[in-house]
């Protein structure tokens, strides 16, 4: 199945760019409307020419787990995104607004286009009063991700797509209200996330969104960190690198799958959030931080390599995994880990926990290879993110997945828009039991 973020007419999209000298840059929706017809024709042409060809062999191992590697956003590596995407005035990290534009169009936007997108999201950011009441009535003991999913589901009340579908909109026009819902979804997530944070952790009244600030700056302000420039920069990087991945991960694929039933983006993304809340997906970064702190409490802050190695071996011999290492898809060091490490080297090089993360990076891969515990012994994105957040004072680990959820909406929304624009069908994956697989290959080599 085609994945719009990585494979739909990349060369065509990237080559089409707007000049900064134009009298008025196109809005994201205007640019998307210009791109869709050509992409529809390209999909038709590809299907006409190659539709009856075999895409490739599928191994039984792939039914249980994939072995691909690499991560790019519309063909661009993370370092390329960091270099090419627009930055905030005085900032050095890419703005998530620019990454969303890239995911939707395949193009790097201008500074002006990103600024207008920031303003658009700020204008859409208010959440309905009844959603505020739902969140305010949640007991603080209800997990932040449960509250997050609940609030996003409730936004379906004002879904433009649900109303348009009920009114009999043409299939060719599905992408329009899907785009509007997706923009509303992303725009409202900071207010939802901020309200959850302050309700659960007692941080006082929620400030207003500032239309003159970018998305990450507003989110940082809602969390109480808006005056910390370095933390704002961290959020810009965090939201950018966590926004999307290959389409097979739990949250991204759940959003796509539920969306294929023509559930609106709010319903589709609330389902994605429930997948993200799982320990094997979005909760991994807090597990890393817990493991690191347990290690520090046992062997000290300035432990030798020998002491760290011994602790890692004890973890493995105890039947546990080393959290933050290995990945179901990647077969090399996660470039998102590298991006966060470079941020830490710049902003907190002497932090004890960061030094321990670096020490582990030099020790764990060899141990995992010797133990035969991982096909990929390298660190993933979760090995670093919790350390950075805690350094700046965001220590409430239960909340970390909410930030992941804010970010992942960018990729899921971009996919949903293109799925509706290209008329993607209802997904009905074929499945086989282990007994059926055994029967299928019985007597075959």
Catalytic residues: 281, 327, 382
Q: What are phi and psi of 398, to 5 degrees?
A: -60, -20
Distance CA 392, CA 401 (A): 17
Q: How far is CA 177 from CA 155, 165, 415, in A?
A: 14, 9, 14
Give Cα separations from 169 to 163, 255, 293 (angstroms): 9, 22, 54
Q: What is the DSSP string of 295-308?
A: HHHHH-TT--HHHH
Q: Estimate the share of the chain in helix, then strand, then coil, as percent rounded to the nearest 5.
A: 60, 0, 35
* DSSP-assigned letter for residue 25: P
- The answer to whether the Cα torsion of 422, 170, 408, 225 is positive or negative is positive
Q: Which residues pair with 94 in a beta bridge?
A: 87
Task: Write down the H helix ranges in 397-441.
Answer: 400-421, 434-441
State the Cα–Cα distance between residues 178 and 254, nearest whole angstrom.
Answer: 17
- Nearest 5°: phi and psi at 138? -70, 135
C-alpha distances (whole Å) from 114 to each of 95, 120, 218, 314 are 8, 10, 15, 49
- Alpha carbon 269 to its chain's center: 12
SS3 category, 73: strand
The torsion angles phi and psi of 76, rounded to 5 degrees, stand at: -100, 135
Q: How far apart are CA 403 and CA 240, in angstroms?
A: 11
- In this structure, is the dihedral angle defined by the CA atoms of residues 82, 83, 87 and 90, taken in order, positive or negative? positive
What CA–CA distance (Å, rounded) separates 223 from 213? Answer: 15
> What backbone phi and psi angles, to 5 degrees, belong to 87?
-115, 165
Question: Strand, helix or coil at 369?
Answer: helix
Which has the closest alpha carbon to 195: 187, 183, 203, 184?
203
- Closest to 206 measured CA to CA, from 185, 216, 217, 191: 191
Q: Which two tokens stand for residue 434?
A: 């282990």
Q: Distance between CA 243 and CA 146 in Å, rounded?
A: 20
């Amino acid at each position: 199945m085609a994945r719009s973020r990585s494979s739909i007419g990349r060369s065509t999209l990237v080559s089409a760019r707007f000049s900064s000298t134009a009298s008025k840059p196109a809005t994201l929706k205007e640019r998307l409307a210009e791109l869709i017809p050509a992409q529809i024709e390209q999909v038709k042409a590809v299907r006409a020419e190659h539709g009856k060809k075999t895409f490739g062999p599928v191994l039984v191992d792939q039914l249980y787990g994939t072995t691909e590697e690499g991560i790019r956003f519309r063909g661009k590596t993370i370092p390329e995104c960091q270099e090419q995407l627009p930055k905030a005035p005085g900032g050095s990290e890419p703005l998530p607004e620019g990454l969303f534009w890239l995911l939707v169009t395949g193009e790097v936007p201008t500074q002006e286009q990103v600024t207008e997108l920031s303003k658009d999201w700020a204008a859409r950011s208010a959440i309905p009063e009844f959603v505020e009441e739902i969140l305010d009535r949640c007991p603080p003991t209800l997990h932040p991700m449960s509250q997050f999913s609940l609030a996003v589901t409730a936004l379906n009340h004002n879904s433009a797509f649900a109303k348009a579908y009920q009114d009999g909109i043409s299939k060719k026009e599905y992408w329009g209200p899907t785009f509007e819902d997706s923009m509303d979804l992303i725009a409202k997530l900071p207010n939802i996330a901020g309200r959850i944070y302050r309700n659960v952790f007692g941080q006082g009244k929620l400030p207003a969104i500032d239309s003159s600030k970018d998305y990450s700056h507003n989110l940082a302000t809602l969390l109480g960190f808006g005056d910390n420039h370095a933390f704002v920069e961290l959020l810009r990087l965090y939201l950018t690198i966590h926004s999307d991945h290959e389409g097979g991960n739990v949250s991204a694929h759940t959003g796509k799958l539920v969306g294929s039933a023509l559930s609106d983006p709010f319903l589709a993304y609330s389902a994605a959030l429930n997948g993200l809340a799982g320990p094997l997906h979005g909760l991994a970064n807090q597990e890393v931080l817990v493991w690191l702190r347990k290690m520090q409490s046992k062997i000290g802050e300035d432990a030798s390599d020998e002491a760290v190695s011994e602790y890692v071996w004890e973890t493995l011999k105890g039947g546990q995994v080393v959290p933050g290492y290995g990945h179901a898809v990647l077969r090399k060091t996660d470039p998102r880990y590298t991006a966060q490490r470079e941020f830490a080297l710049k902003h907190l090089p002497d932090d004890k926990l960061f030094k321990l993360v670096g020490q582990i990076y030099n020790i764990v891969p060899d141990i995992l290879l010797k133990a035969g515990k991982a096909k990929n012994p390298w660190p993933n994105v979760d090995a670093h993110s919790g350390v950075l957040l805690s350094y700046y004072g965001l220590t409430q680990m239960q909340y970390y997945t909410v930030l992941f959820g804010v970010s992942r909406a960018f990729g899921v929304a971009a996919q949903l828009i293109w799925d509706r624009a290209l008329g993607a069908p209802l997904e009905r994956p074929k499945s086989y039991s282990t007994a059926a697989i055994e029967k299928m290959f019985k007597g075959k080599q």
